[in-house]
Amino acid sequence: MDRTLKGVAYVSVWVVIWGTVASLIDAVLLEREIYATASLGQAITFVGYGAATVVLAWRYAPRFLGNDEGSET
């Protein structure tokens, strides 16, 4: 697979993972009335999960993209 296409697919999968997990957690928090729609809490939930997803994607990139740069093992 072309390196660019592989990179785009990799990022796309992580965006879907982030959106799915953050939305599921958001739904639970909204249902339990922990915070309201369009509140700071909702923004923190999505930004927090976004940051966690970036860290995980960065960590696993060498394994899936075949790039040895940045590998800490």
Residue 53 has pLDDT above 50, yes or no: yes
Q: Alpha helices of 1-73 — where are they, by DSSP H?
A: 3-31, 40-65
Residue 71 has pLDDT above 50, yes or no: no
Distance, CA of 26 to CA of 43 (rounded, Å) = 10
Which structure tokens are listed for 57?
């994607």
**Mean pLDDT of the region 58-63:** 94
Residue 67 has pLDDT above 80, yes or no: no
7-40 pLDDT tens trace: 999 999 999 999 999 999 999 999 999 999 999 9
Q: What mean pLDDT is reported for the chain?
A: 91
How confident is the model at residue 1, as a pLDDT?
80
**Residues 6+ positions from 60 with CB-CB distance below 8 Å:** none
